[in-house]
Structure 1
């Protein structure tokens, strides 16, 4: 049995979400059609509103509804200190820590030529321009330790080399409350390389 064209289109559309395959999309579509049509309408309206009303901040590339996001528009933030992150989710995680009070630069990904993500797609030309204009004194890299994250960090390191900008990378290693016996070797190696005096 085939779905009607509208149901099939709904299922096909839902598969654009990360981690949602045809079976999950079918379950979601059936749930909305069988039990929650009002929720489906609200979801559709919220999605349309977000797609039309959310843009990238002109300074940091984070999601914003105005020209500048709330962090870039806040005069209390340390504007000359910039933390480079891969995604808006990383900004949220760092903000929840309450430890960082500077600005951000959001790459919206990490270097991955196979996925078509080069320096230009990540806005690294914009970051390089800001570095050249002397807007930034300190750059903090908060990219992941994946192959793509390491490649991105090395690319930015090469960009900063020869400038007066201070460059650092957030520490990687043993999580709070973690027992060493359960931590993998690569994480322990990062923890030893990132140790600091007490």
Structure 2
């Protein structure tokens, strides 16, 4: 335990996702050793992002405007919506350059242990968007973990009565991976999604 401000900084940094006690300590001492001007820029960036950034009124992605640049882009295909958990997932899909439709960000996934149910997600907003008669397909692109699977199952069951095609991203074994290291869910999905070896 350090005293005063140093320990407070370590404690605050340790509250960030993916930052354990040792990483928090390392970051705190980096901040102590860093140039004051560099750290002031960091502080200004944090304050600016908290003041300016909000969520798109259409899809829920992060933006500094009322709507995000993807929703404003008339070249995007309005007939397909890719449903993701978080804004970072939008960027992951965009990096592939394989999807040209629009997005809907749920703001998380169903996780009863954390007290997150369907009502805490942006599912009502998704249903409202489905009043647009141009929409032909919903692609569910939630994470391939227990929470993501629960969310995908919930959405699939709810949306199947609407008359819009509901698809799910294929998943399975990564290229270059070893079978012995694959978890049961990944291996099971790989078997479910198997295809003809000659295609």
TM norm structure 1: 0.88
Cα offsets for 1:113-168 (capped at 9, x unmatched): 22122212211111122224545321001112222111101111122121121100
Moved more, 109-118 or 34-43: 34-43
What is the root-mean-square deviation of aligned Cα atoms in Å?
A: 2.1
SS in 2 for 1:72: helix
Question: Which has the higher mean CA deviation after the structures are superposed, 20-29 or 83-92?
Answer: 20-29
Q: CA deviation at 1:70?
A: 1.3
Match of 2:48 in 1: 49
TM-score (norm 2): 0.88
What per-residue deviation string (whole Å, max 9, x for no partner) do you get for residues 9-51 of structure 1?
Answer: 3333222211223443233222212233222211111000001
3-state SS of paired residue (2:78): strand
Aligned to 1:78: 77
Corresponding position of 1:16: 15
Q: Which ranges in structure 2 are unaligned for 5 or more consecutive residues?
A: none
| Conservation of the 8 A alpha-carbon contact between 1:55 and 1:63 | yes
How many residues were matched structurally? Answer: 197
Shift of 1:64: 0.7
Q: Distance in 2 between matches of 1:3 and 1:135?
A: 61
SS of 1:94's partner is: helix
Superposition pairs for residues 130-149 of structure 1, below 5 Å? 130-134=129-133, 136-149=135-148
In the alignment, structure 1 segments of 5+ residues that lack a partner are none
Q: What residue is the counterpart of 1:150 in the other structure?
A: 149
Aligned to 2:3: 3
